[in-house]
């Protein structure tokens, strides 16, 4: 199992230097081989990232510890497998630890509950009814715990969203036009029908998998599937509002995979959703016939609580399918990974899009996109990206074919781990970068509280009017959608000097779980668009 690593290491050493682009940003190789393909990723409040792919790929490139083996008579590939299919990445030490996942996690979903535990749902084969629990630790003792029948329905390509009451709702999945909750309120609680998922299902193509689900500020759910959306009262199984079809009518959900974000939430400003990329109608069938259609280069943006909400369309610098959209600490959006043609699915993508793009929500239409420096590593089907506490973006994965296949194919399995540092991390901005002095990471707070935030900026550099405080919920990233991702711009008081180059302000915590479900968030101070490193805060 060492051959792919040697080949990959040689390939990486021989790469040409990265070309420059207008927007900047810096790529770094963190590890040449993490053992598994980073198909699913979640940052935890311990500054560890849990990653996993699937158990029926055959042997991975990392062994289980202490001679352990997974024995599964239901596995499609190996009944006895002594390799890991999940790992924990320690951001601080830049190291990997193998984890033991027993049932097949392929194309599953997840959400972090209020105490910081990752609760992960569904998958394939013997994992499609499973719930898996990962309680973070700092001493390398934690591992997966599994509930084999934690779900009432098969959940494969479903979406998980954390709710204000701490439960998660699991929406859809292949052949599932319904939703359910975890944990259940009673042993008899079953699934609830959601006809919208049947209405957005394209026969033999689907285009409604991994629906884009966002918790609205009124406590209802914005659910987007295929090319349209609803506002849904999940407590009463009632549609509150039906939104217009996205102009053009092209599908944006898996496998015609676009991506989406809930744009930064600000006090007294309406919630907005941005949906970008995807594949045109018919692209999936054509890709199956080895005809790879160019990806969509459009985005739709909508104010979801307006009296008469309408989509406003924008054009990206290039088409992108299978891309990831991440909220950055300064409120901008990063589009990263993906392809310029084809769709999601085995060997169905072409023309890697190597250059990320930053979207500036507050600029005028027509000037919101900026192309960044490219990577040399294609990140195709089954790639993922998450934001780290220091402001970098962790990027991994790409496995656009069955099994760990490293040779004689267009896009080999990729086991590397990279970081992308947006231009706000450039050394030239160190003199204006704020540094949070308090609260310390891990501090607890409550809804509606005013918390003192103390920070420093180099002498003579502070421009008070540019100071912003943000908090971000880390996301569960897989298949081009970052579940549970949200960013709040906090109300703040005056910036007061404390002494020297140290300043203090009071930041207002969100007023309810509708705005910010209880749990761990990353708190940032932003100065002149340059964010500090984040501090973990625990709101409850």
Question: If you search the block for the tokens 């494969």, which residue do you land on?
Answer: 156
Residue-level pLDDT at 5:
39
3-state secondary structure 363-381: CCCCCCEEECCCCCCCCCC
Token pair listed for 470: 């943000």
Dist CA 450 CA 479 (whole Å): 37
User: At residue 525, does pLDDT exceed 90?
Assistant: yes
* Predicted confidence (pLDDT) per residue in 389-406, tens digit: 999 999 999 999 988 989
3-state secondary structure 413-446: CCCCEEEEECHHHCHHHHHHCCEEEECCCCEEEC
Residue-level pLDDT at 22:
57
Q: Tell me the mean pLDDT in the region 202-220.
A: 97
* Predicted confidence (pLDDT) per residue in 41-50, tens digit: 999 999 999 9
Cβ-based neighbours of 328, under 8 Å, separated by 6 or more? 334, 358, 387, 391, 422, 424, 531
Q: Tell me the mean pLDDT in the region 108-122.
A: 98
Cβ-based neighbours of 143, under 8 Å, separated by 6 or more? 99, 100, 134
User: At residue 6, does pLDDT exceed 50?
Assistant: no
Report the mean per-residue pLDDT for the chain. 94
Dist CA 475 CA 382 (whole Å): 16
Cβ-based neighbours of 59, under 8 Å, separated by 6 or more? 1, 78, 81, 82, 83, 404
Secondary-structure breakdown of the chain: helix, strand, coil percentages, each rounded to the nearest 5: 5, 40, 55
Q: Degrees (nearest 5) of the Cα angle 106, 107, 113?
A: 105
Rg (CA), the chain: 22
Estimate to the nearest angstrom the gap between the alpha carbon of 178 and the chain centroid.
Answer: 23
Cβ-based neighbours of 343, under 8 Å, separated by 6 or more? 255, 256, 257, 279, 283, 284, 287, 321, 322, 349
User: At residue 16, does pLDDT exceed 50?
Assistant: no
Residue-level pLDDT at 250:
98
pLDDT confidence tier of residue 14, bands split at 50, 70 and 90: very low
Q: What element of type H or E holds 251? A: none
Dist CA 144 CA 124 (whole Å): 17
* Predicted confidence (pLDDT) per residue in 419-450, tens digit: 999 999 999 999 999 999 999 999 999 999 99
8 closest CA partner among 395, 406, 385, 399: 406
Q: Tell me the mean pLDDT in the region 171-200.
A: 97
User: At residue 13, does pLDDT exceed 50?
Assistant: no
Dist CA 375 CA 456 (whole Å): 33
456 closest CA partner among 438, 439, 436: 436
Contact 469, 492 (CB under 8 A): yes
């Amino acid at each position: 199992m060492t051959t792919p690593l040697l080949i990959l290491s040689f390939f990486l050493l021989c790469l040409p230097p990265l070309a420059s682009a207008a927007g900047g940003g810096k790529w770094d190789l963190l590890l040449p081989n993490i053992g598994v393909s980073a198909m699913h990723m979640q940052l935890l409040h311990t500054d560890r990232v849990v990653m996993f792919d699937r158990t029926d790929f055959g042997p991975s490139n990392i062994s289980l510890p202490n001679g352990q083996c997974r024995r599964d008579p239901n596995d499609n590939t190996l009944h006895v497998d002594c390799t890991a299919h999940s790992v924990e990445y320690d951001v601080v030490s830049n190291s990997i630890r193998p984890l033991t996942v027993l049932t097949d996690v392929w194309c599953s979903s997840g959400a972090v509950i209020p105490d910081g535990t990752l609760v992960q749902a569904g998958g394939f084969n013997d994992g499609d009814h499973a719930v898996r629990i990962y309680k973070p630790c700092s001493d390398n003792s934690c591992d997966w715990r599994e509930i084999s029948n934690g779900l009432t329905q098969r959940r494969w390509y479903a979406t998980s969203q954390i709710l204000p009451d701490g439960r998660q709702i699991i929406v859809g999945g292949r052949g599932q036009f319904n939703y359910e909750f975890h944990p259940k309120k009673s042993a008899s609680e079953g699934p609830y029908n959601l006809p919208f998922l049947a209405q957005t299902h394209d026969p033999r193509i689907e285009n409604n998998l991994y629906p884009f689900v966002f918790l609205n500020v009124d406590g209802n759910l914005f659910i987007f599937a295929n090319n349209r959306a609803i506002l849904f009262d999940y407590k009463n199984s009632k549609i509150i509002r039906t939104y217009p079809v996205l102009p053009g009518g092209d599908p944006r959900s898996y496998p015609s995979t676009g991506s989406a974000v809930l744009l930064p939430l600000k006090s007294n400003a309406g919630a907005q959703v941005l949906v970008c990329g995807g594949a045109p109608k018919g692209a999936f069938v054509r890709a199956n016939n080895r005809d790879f259609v160019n990806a969509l280069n459009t985005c739709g943006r909508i104010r979801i609580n307006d009296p008469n909400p309408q989509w406003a369309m924008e054009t990206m610098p290039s088409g992108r399918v299978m891309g990831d959209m991440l909220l950055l600490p300064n409120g901008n959006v990063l589009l990263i990974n993906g392809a310029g043609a084809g769709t999601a699915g085995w060997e169905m993508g072409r023309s890697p899009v190597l250059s990320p793009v930053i979207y500036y929500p507050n600029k005028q239409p027509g000037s919101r996109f900026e192309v960044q420096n490219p990577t040399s590593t294609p990140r195709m089907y089954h790639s993922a990206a998450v934001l780290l506490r220091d402001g970098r973006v962790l990027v991994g994965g790409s496995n656009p074919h069955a099994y760990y296949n490293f040779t004689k194919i267009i896009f080999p399995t990729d086991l590397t781990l990279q970081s992308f540092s947006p231009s706000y991390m450039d050394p030239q901005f160190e003199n204006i970068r704020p540094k949070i002095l308090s609260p310390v990471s891990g501090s607890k707070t409550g809804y509606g509280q005013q918390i003192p935030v103390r920070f420093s900026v180099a002498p003579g550099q502070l421009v008070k009017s540019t100071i912003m405080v943000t908090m971000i919920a880390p996301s569960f990233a897989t298949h081009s959608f970052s579940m549970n991702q949200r960013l709040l711009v906090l109300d703040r008081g005056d910036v007061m000097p404390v002494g020297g180059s140290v300043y203090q302000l009071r930041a207002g915590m969100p007023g309810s779980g509708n705005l910010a479900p209880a749990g761990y968030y990353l708190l940032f101070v932003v100065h002149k668009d340059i964010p500090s490193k984040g501090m973990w805060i625990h709101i409850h």
